[in-house]
Amino acid sequence: MTNPRPPQGRTDSAKNRDLETDRERSDGERLTTNQGVRVSHTDDSLKAGERGPTLMEDFHLREKLMHFDHERIPERVVHARGSGAHGVFRSYQDHSELTRAAFLRDPAAETPVFVRFSTVVGFRGSADTVRDVRGFAVKFYTSEGVYDLVGNNIPIFFIQDGIKFPDLVHSIKPEPHHEMPQASAAHDTFWDFISLTPESMHMILWALSDRAVPRSYAEMEGFGVHTFRFVNESGLARFVKLHLKPMKAMTALVWDEAQKIAGKDPDFNRRDLWNAIERGDFPEYELGVQVVEEADEMAFDFDLLDPTKIIPEELAPVRPLGRLTLNRNPDNFFAETEQAAFHPGHVVPGIDFTNDPLLQARLFSYLDTQITRLGGPNFAEIPINRPTCPVHNNQRDGFMRQAINVGRTAYSPNSLGRGCPMLTPSGMGGYAHFMERVDGRKIRERSASFQDHYSQAALFFRSLSEPERRRLIDAGRFELGKVRSMEVRTRMIGHFAHIDLGLARAVAAAVGVEPPRSAPPPPSAPKGVRFSARDLRRSDALSFDGEANRRKRTARGARIAALIAEGFSADDLEALRKAAEREGAEVVTVAATQSPLKSGSGGEATADESFLTTSSVVFDAVFVPGGGAAAKSLAADSDALRFVNEAFRHFKSVGAADEGVDVLHRTSIRGVRVADPGAGALADAGVVTSRAGARGDLLDVFFEAVTQRRHWDRPPHGATPA
């Protein structure tokens, strides 16, 4: 059989066939179910009332999600690339007032956990540092059963109703005709979908922000995304939003750095997590909750059931519940990290659901997808998924069955087995759903309270610092600059104008779209609300440069590259190592070769890395010790100069002692002052130098600079190559 396409590649006529096919489809094709039934509406699931629960009789929703859940075997459809760790959770106090969940009521109890971090879009072999949402899923092995908090590092989502999830993921995955691009949103089909889906505007700003390129999982927030319910022993229910706040300050990569790391070390975040646990620098997070009384459900100018909205912390502060510590790496990646099966429907007494239409779909979809991915219905018997409390049920047989059940009864009720396993009344610890009144017409509609798509996006943008806004704008320019359709670009600029006119104009100027002249009027708040997010000028918790995050900044966990060559100052290097150890930081020596090097005092050292095996992008700071011969060698080495230039361009701390300062003079660093001969420590925009050796004053000032991580006050770096 001959290939109908010419062997030399796609001709112009061949390239046009895709466009012709699209035109033919647009002329006559109608969306149908797999059975050929025409579909009248595919944006909202069938609910009991516009804010009611999703109905199981929605055959279109079930078929659409079922087909989507089983599209790939055995890799996860989304969140395929993951990293895991074991740990423990301990409650700060008895939170019985909030919930009957046992693991939140006993401060003496230590609950084992398994956490899986992940990227969303890429396949298992993609890089860690792509621009993407990060999964943050926690499995609590409680005394009452497994509780899964299946969250992300962003508190909202792209869509409001789970029926749109297959469309969202299909748009962002590699385009089906050529399977490109990998692990990237920067292409036409994704932005086409987003530009036609206004509810995504809040989330897309988060995805363009620093949140989408975290430096470390230990420095990244987690969120439950949805509104859940906590129910206490007396049956009192409250709406809650769950948060996991890192004990370290949140940090991010800059985009140029993230792209280079993807080539230098595609396992960057995974390696960082593993190494931190191995050296005893255990990642820690504080589990907290925002609480809203049932009576205040409609008191906000947004809908609590809308997963594209946050509750600003100024309106509902986060109440700390306990601390989660990751202290053990997996023994086997596949058996634990890869086979871990999370499901938002895995809850324990005291935690219940709401009618959030995205959550309702996830309750079906997560369970369904495990059947294909893990070989059948018995995935809960895999060791990593197995509860630590006793399990007794009447489930039998099926693929991958591991439990060996004894006895002749596998049904209920029974008398031959003396009624076992027996039911447990809710008053004795049995799970009981919150008795919410539900009524309404069967309807495919969305509540009017879900219709404001721009106010919270504008709040997020206003809350960012000026450097954060610049980086978000650059991200928008990069992403839309990869989009070939001018129609899609123009639609997106129109949406940006609803959020912030300056944002819209800045991105438009870079992607060839006519900048908007004026911004549409902002939507007015509903009448009668008591808590208005639209009245907030900014929210401190949304910015990495906010006061709450700044207070957490330390040098702990920072990786510092010390550049050495033959004749380096051993005293300077040793002083740097001791200071780093006090700060909880790590020093890695880098040289042109990994052969032994003699110091100026006659000792020998072998560099940990060479300029060929590493790069400044995987470090948080650079330091050049003294030593005349070493400085002369480094100043003549283009790899060493590029290493320093790149760190400076990425706003990192750069330090130098004695003759090491001469190396900085040979770089392209401009616009900052360095120490004069004989002078002590001098700091300017994160460049810390001294001509008096690596003494305490220099290292104190240097590590204070490292604590800041980035120095956004640096002059424009256009003249600094990297």
Tell me if 655 sits within 8 A of 579, measured CB to CB: no
Q: How far apart are CA 377 and CA 338, in angstroms?
A: 17
CA distances from 666 to 64, 255, 566, 676, 717 (A): 61, 26, 18, 15, 16
As given in the structure block, the two tokens for residue 17 are 């066939």
**Helix runs in 300-453, H state only:** 357-373
Question: Phi first, then psi: what are they for 589, rounded to 5°?
Answer: -85, 140
Q: How far apart are CA 406 and CA 562, in angstroms?
A: 64
Tell me the residue type at 311: I
Q: How far apart are CA 309 and CA 457, in angstroms?
A: 9
Where in the sequence numbering do the catalytic residues fall?
79, 152
CA distances from 599 to 281, 569, 602, 659, 695 (A): 31, 6, 5, 14, 18
Tell me if 584 sits within 8 A of 578, measured CB to CB: no
Tell me if 47 sits within 8 A of 55, measured CB to CB: yes
Q: Nearest-CA neighbor of 587 among 613, 615, 554, 620?
A: 620
As given in the structure block, the two tokens for residue 97 are 């007032």
Q: Nearest-CA neighbor of 267 among 535, 512, 6, 82?
A: 82
Tell me if 168 sits within 8 A of 158, measured CB to CB: yes
Tell me if 106 sits within 8 A of 391, measured CB to CB: no
Identify any residues that bridge with 91 across adjacent strands, giving them in sequence order.
Answer: 322
Q: How far apart are CA 44 and CA 462, in angstroms?
A: 31
The DSSP line for 47-81 is EESTTSPBPTT-HHHHHHHHHHHTSSSSS-SSS-S
How many CB atoms sit inside 10 A of residue 599's CB? 22
The DSSP line for 666-711 is HSS--S---PPTT---EEETTEEEESS-S-HHHHHHHHHHHHH---
Tell me if 578 sits within 8 A of 619, measured CB to CB: no
Q: How far apart are CA 400 and CA 381, in angstroms?
A: 8
Q: How far apart are CA 103 and CA 115, in angstroms?
A: 17
Identify any residues that bridge with 289 across adjacent strands, giving them in sequence order.
Answer: 242, 319
Beta-strand ranges (E) seen in 201-259 are: 222-223, 228-231, 237-246
Q: How far apart are CA 518 and CA 524, in angstroms?
A: 18
How many CB atoms sit inside 10 A of residue 462's CB? 16
As given in the structure block, the two tokens for residue 66 are 């079922």
As given in the structure block, the two tokens for residue 532 are 């208005």
Tell me the residue type at 677: P
Q: How far apart are CA 685 and CA 710, in angstroms?
A: 9
What does the angle CA 238 – CA 244 – CA 246 come to, to the nearest 5 degrees?
150
